[in-house]
Every structure is written in structure tokens, then in C-alpha cells.
Structure 1
């Protein structure tokens, strides 16, 4: 790793902080879905959303892989359904979306672009989670090197391509929510975005709420088992370097989840832009320094 032993320790800490920040954000989104569907008090919803992943993660990557595989078909169908039904029922929304100027009109706003980039740059540490999964990729053998490299590139740095597509899709659903007269402060919530989208799929409001909640719960659990697993590894690496002891990954799993739960109760989702903007500066600066050390300093 860049900067040797100390650099590896700092990298583990920055990566661990990435996992619990995003765990808290994703679990807060799931809590909003539980509140919407079951009318559950938000604090209880936070608790359920944080703790539900622990049984899956304690059993390691095998159970996580099974969960991802079993839920993938339902996830993909529910992910794409609103976009398809909007295209069928009201295709003009897509054209209107391309000219939508928001609160400040269509003029280029450098500050708005910077704010958006700051949030997106916080995802730079996502490459760490991609590597956690790529560790289990079989070694290349003669005859499959092209497929092997395609898998490495697609699941490694290439993750940003579907990630960017999903960001554009989220912006479109937020626009659909605004067209449904949902207030702007609520239209940024994924539950409200998909509720507006599923209202184009089915006319029954209760059924639309149910589909929204099922999709959001599946989606957030899929995300957070990865965040929790990666966070437990990062904390384990960090503290083993500091203390030279290893109490077990489950200890750090619970530690990571409890930190995320605290952030949720402090309102991390409401302060999303500010939290990610600050974290992005740290993450980009450190990863840039590590890359420079590995690519430039080490060969010299």
C-alpha cells in the first residue's frame, strides 16, 4: 500500500469511515420505507434498518453472495419497472426532463455543479468494496483471460458506468416526483422517487406504497450487507495494526453498525450534502496521494 505500514493504517481508517457513513445513509433510506409502509416510528425504523443486516454478515461472504443472487431478479424488475411504465404511459416526461431547469433555471451554475461533484466524489472509496468482491475472482487461466480482464475492469473501475446511469435515473425519478406535486425537500428521498414512479405502474395507492417499500428494503439490504462486511474488515485491519490484537470480525461488524446507527439518529440523511462534501475532500486527497506514491514515488 502507499506510504507503507502507516499509510495502510490510515487507508483502513478512511475506508472504514466510508462504510459507516454510507451504511448510515442507506439504512436511513430503508427506515423511511418502513415508516411509509408500516407507519413505524422513525427511531424504531432506524434500529430495525441497522440491525437487520447483522445475521447475514456474520456468516461471511457465502451468505452475502446467496442473498445477492436470490434477490437480484426481483431487484432488477422493480428497478426498471417505473422507467418502462412511464415510457408507456407518459413518454413526454422524458423530453420534459431534458429541459427541466430546477429552481434556478437552465443557466449554468458552477456552484451547483461543484456541489453535485462533491457528493459524487465521496464515492471514490467505493473501489475498495469492489476490490473486496474481486478478491474472490478465480485466477486467470489460458482461454479465459479476456473474460477475466473484462470482469476485473467491469467490477473494478467500471462500476462507475452503471453508477452514473443510476444517478441519472434517480434525477429523472426526482423530476417525476416533483411533477406529482411532491415538495422538493421530500422529492430527494428515494422512497418518494420510487413511489411517484410506481404510481405509473399501478393505480392503487396502497399497492404502490407496498411495491416501493419492498424495492427499497431489498435494495438497501443488498447495499448494506456489503457496507457492513467491508467495514468490519477495514476496522479489523485498522485496530490490528494499532493494537496488534484481533478480537474477531463480528466485534468490528457490531462496532461499525452501532456507529452508523448513531449517525442515523443524529440526522445524517438530512445533512447528506454537507457530510459527503466534507468526506469527499478527505477521500480524494488521500487516494490521490496514495496513487502518486505508488505510481510515481515507488518506481523512482
Structure 2
């Protein structure tokens, strides 16, 4: 955080040491300032892609193959990958351009200041659900190699992550860069080993039916259901954005590598993700045909034990390497899950409670919820959890994307830039918020078979379509008047200068500031969020006078 301006009167708002330490706090509720973004495009992209080491992809690919058969699983993976890639492009671009996280982006993309509170919960749910799934996979490796009981393994897998994620982007970028070559090598080696030493493995995979009632062939309803499970990963773009907000400025000299980094580390994550899902599907077949029970064939530790066994004749070496690979993979992803969860909980509680004890505090909440889910056996009902969750997640993403690609550039009813500050936003914008609610209600009703079997199977596609169509319709009906509550004095595109906050005394770049008639000066976005005394006077009827005097109280 910037230094205090000594010319100001003593600060009326005091923050604890956790909030005042930028290495720990990582500007969790703010625009990421130029002074803090010291990483290269390569470093940011590598850190973002390092989180894609997770093995839930393999578990999902294996689970849908067991549940719905080879053909349905493969087509579901490819269809979902296409949807995730296309929806991720505008989100990644706007986050990297305006240097804001998913919550701040959502606020300015049709949801309003409090409307995005619900999406913070949706995103937080994504982080702790997948933390629990990844932690369960690590505990399975502990159980197989060390004989550690699963309940204890869950606790170890959770507590191991906390020290690594406390220092935020500063440590995470180094961790992901250093471990990436080892991880890639360990992931690919067993695949080559199986393909070269077991020629029948591919044929066995393509005929693998699992529990599917229609065998390994195509069934539209099973395809739709399987795609719904995979589409739960659409919210992963939020975790990519948590890294992409630290991208350096795009210049004429750097624009090519800037764009390459944004595309690869943003929507490009799904290229690796879909490949891993296909690998999980393949290795599930390999594990099953080598004697693993069907109920356990979707466990990544079982997949890679059989994969490494084709590489090393000694079973102990295969098990040891598989265990090391699983643990490394889960550490790499769960630091990201815990980090992103801390950001989303910070955003949620800052608005609900008007308090911010620091991002680090919410790491413990996120990990605690995840541990509870692990102890409840979340891995055993993976398909049901992800199938339900995807309906809400995709409605949210669909509404945001529609605003970014239709309402802003085509209809021009949404501001051309992303406005995220409380002082400039209505609490609720019916455009994005309304579109998400309508899409979620309809798709969840479909998911629970209230609209027939076809709608049930394709409920997630229904959610995406409704959200994408309703957002521009609502923008037209409301004439876009609920985007900006008052004309901003400082906004995105203001360059370089810093301004002292009249509430806390710290200096921030202008993109993070608003003009506050209550404090009679500029105010930073966090102090503005936490203020309980102003009663939003800057946006009330009398604010016409107050705002008109802004040039005399702000500079």
C-alpha cells in the first residue's frame, strides 16, 4: 500500500497490519496499481497457468466416462471447452486491461455494487468446492502410499496449503514458475508409456461404456448431462483473472506478447484442461482394464499408478512417483483455490459487514469450509455437486459476457469502461443481476426435471442462452440507466497520478479513487466500501449540489 501523506490530518480510519501489508493483502478489494505490477507478461501467464495443474480435470473426465460412456464423455468435454474458451476471452481481456478481479469486473458489467455480492458467493463456492475435491485427491494419495486414514489426510491436505498462500502473488508466482517444468514432465511421461507399451489401450478406451445404459455410443441426453458437469469449470476463468489483473500495461512494443499472455493464461487454460479431462477418461479405462474397481478407477492416484507402472517395472517406484505427482499437482492448484477464495470472501464481507480484517483472515474460512466438505465425502457425489453448481455459475458468466460483448460495444448502453466503485454505482443493476436470476431459476427447475428430460439434460446450455439473451433485453428496457449512479470524477483511463485518501490518508492511483462530498475530498475504493456513516449521500437527491462542487474538493 502507498505511504501515508503526512500533510493530511490524522487518519480517521485505521487498518490492521494484515491490510497495510501489500505483500499479504495483494490489493484484494482494489484496482491493482501500476506500482505493484512488477511482473512480466510471461511471469503472470506462467503463474496463472500453474494453477491448471489440478487433477480434478482427470477425475471429472474419468467420472463422466464411467457414468455416461466414452463417446458422450468425449463430445461433452469438447463442447464444454468451446463454450468456456469463447466466454473467457472478453472476461480475460477486460480484467487485464483494467487490472481488476472477477468481482470488480462483475460489478461494472451489469450487476451493480450489491448485486455482485451474490456472485461473490457463487465464486467463493467454486473455490471451496474445488479445494475440497483437490484435497480429497491428495488425501487418496496419502492413504495409498502412507496408509494415512482419509479423515486425517483431509486435514493434512488442508493445513499444508495455508502457509503457502498467505504471501499471495509474490510467493505464488515463484512457486508456479519453479514447479511447472517438473509437473509437465511427470504428467506427460505415463501417457507416452501407456501408448507405446500397451497398443490395445486406445481401443479399450473407445469401447469403454462404464455404467452407461447405451454403451459407449452417443446418446444426446447423456451428452447434455455430461457437458453440464464439465461446464461447472466455467468459473475457473475467475481464478485466471485473479492473476491476469497483475498484467503490465499494454504498449505498442509489447502488445503481441501481452495478447498472447492474456489469451493463453485466460481462456487458454481450457486447452490444457480439456486435454487433462481426456487423459482422465483414458487413464480411467486403463486403470479399470488393469484390475482397478470401477468405483475407484476415477481416482487420479489409481490412474497414475497404472500409468507409471508401464514406465517402471518396479511397483514401488510407480507408486512413489504417482504419489509425488499428485501431491505436487494438488499443492499447485489449492494455493490458487485458497487465494482466490480469500479474494471473493473479502469482497463479500466488505459489503455485507462493512469491515475488512484482511484477505489472510478469509483463507482460514475458505479452507475450513473445504475441509468440512472433504470430511462429508464430497468426492463420492462429485457429478451431482458439479452438475447443480454449473447452472448458477454459467448463468453468471453468461450475463457478464453479454454485457461485455453486446451491451457495451454494440448497444452502447453500458459504459465503455469498467466502473467498480461504490460511489459511482447503483446498488443493484437489473441488467446483469436480473438476467442471472432468471436464467438460474429456469435452469435449476430444468435440472430437477420440472421441465422434461431434454431440458434437464441441457439445463446448463439453457442457463447460458437465457442469461446471454436477457442481459441485452433488460439493458434496452431500462435504457441502461442503472449502470452509473453519478458521473465519476476519477475513473478507468485516468493515468499515473496518485491521490491521497481523505479517510485513511494513504495515497492511491486515481483509478482507485472517487470524490466524496461526505469526507470533503477524494476517497479510496476500500474506505468508500467500508463507510457506514455517509448513507450514500453522493448518490442521493441532494448530491446534485455536492457533486457539483467536486472540482473544489478533489483534484
Band of TM-score, shorter chain: over 0.9
Tell me what 1:136 maps to.
246
Deviation at 1:77, TM superposition (A): 1.2
Tell me what 2:516 maps to.
none
Q: Is the 8 A contact 2:206 2:216 kept in 1?
A: no
Alignment of 1:255 with 2:365, yes or no, is yes
Tell me what 2:377 maps to.
267
Tell me what 1:224 maps to.
334
Q: Is the 8 A contact 1:3 1:293 kept in 2?
A: no
Tell me what 1:61 maps to.
169
Alignment of 1:122 with 2:237, yes or no, is no
- CA deviation map 1:222-256 (0-9, x unaligned): 00000000000110011001111101111100000
Tell me what 1:9 maps to.
117
Give the Cα–Cα distance (whole angstroms) in 1 for the partners of residues 306 and 243 of structure 2: 34
Q: Is the 8 A contact 1:177 1:196 kept in 2?
A: yes
- CA deviation map 1:73-107 (0-9, x unaligned): 22111101111111221233224423434444233
3-state SS in 2 of match to 1:244 = coil
Larger helix fraction of residues: 1
Deviation at 1:286, TM superposition (A): 2.1
Give 1:31-50 correspondences, 5 Å limit: 31-50=139-158
Deviation at 1:293, TM superposition (A): 4.2
- The equivalent position to 1:75 in structure 2, one of 147, 159, 183, is 183
Alignment of 1:237 with 2:347, yes or no, is yes
* Structure 1 unpaired stretches of 5+: none
Give 1:148-297 correspondences, 5 Å limit: 148-297=258-407
Give the Cα–Cα distance (whole angstroms) in 2 for the partners of residues 62 and 4 of structure 1: 31
Q: Is the 8 A contact 2:190 2:304 kept in 1?
A: yes
3-state SS in 2 of match to 1:186 = coil
Tell me what 2:472 maps to.
none
Q: Which has the larger radius of gyration?
A: 2
* Structure 2 unpaired stretches of 5+: 1-106, 414-555
3-state SS in 1 of match to 2:311 = coil
Tell me what 2:509 maps to.
none
Higher RCO by CA contacts (8 Å cutoff, separation 6 or greater)? 1
TM-score by length of structure 1 reads 0.95
Give the Cα–Cα distance (whole angstroms) in 2 for the partners of residues 263 and 225 of structure 1: 17
Q: 1:85 to 1:294 in 2, by over 3 A?
A: closer
- CA deviation map 1:229-286 (0-9, x unaligned): 0000110011001111101111100000000000000111001001001100111122
3-state SS in 2 of match to 1:202 = coil
Give the Cα–Cα distance (whole angstroms) in 1 for the partners of residues 354 and 166 of structure 2: 22
- The equivalent position to 1:93 in structure 2, one of 195, 201, 205, is 201
Deviation at 1:111, TM superposition (A): 3.1
Q: Is the 8 A contact 1:33 1:216 kept in 2?
A: yes
Equivalent residue pairs, number: 300
Deviation at 1:70, TM superposition (A): 2.0
Q: Is the 8 A contact 1:34 1:213 kept in 2?
A: yes
3-state SS in 2 of match to 1:292 = helix
Q: Is the 8 A contact 1:236 1:249 kept in 2?
A: yes
Q: 1:137 to 1:290 in 2, by over 3 A?
A: closer
Q: 1:297 to 1:72 in 2, by over 3 A?
A: closer
Give the Cα–Cα distance (whole angstroms) in 1 for the partners of residues 265 and 181 of structure 2: 19
Q: Is the 8 A contact 2:308 2:321 kept in 1?
A: yes
- CA deviation map 1:15-66 (0-9, x unaligned): 1111000000000000000111100011110000011010011111111112
Q: 1:294 to 1:87 in 2, by over 3 A?
A: closer
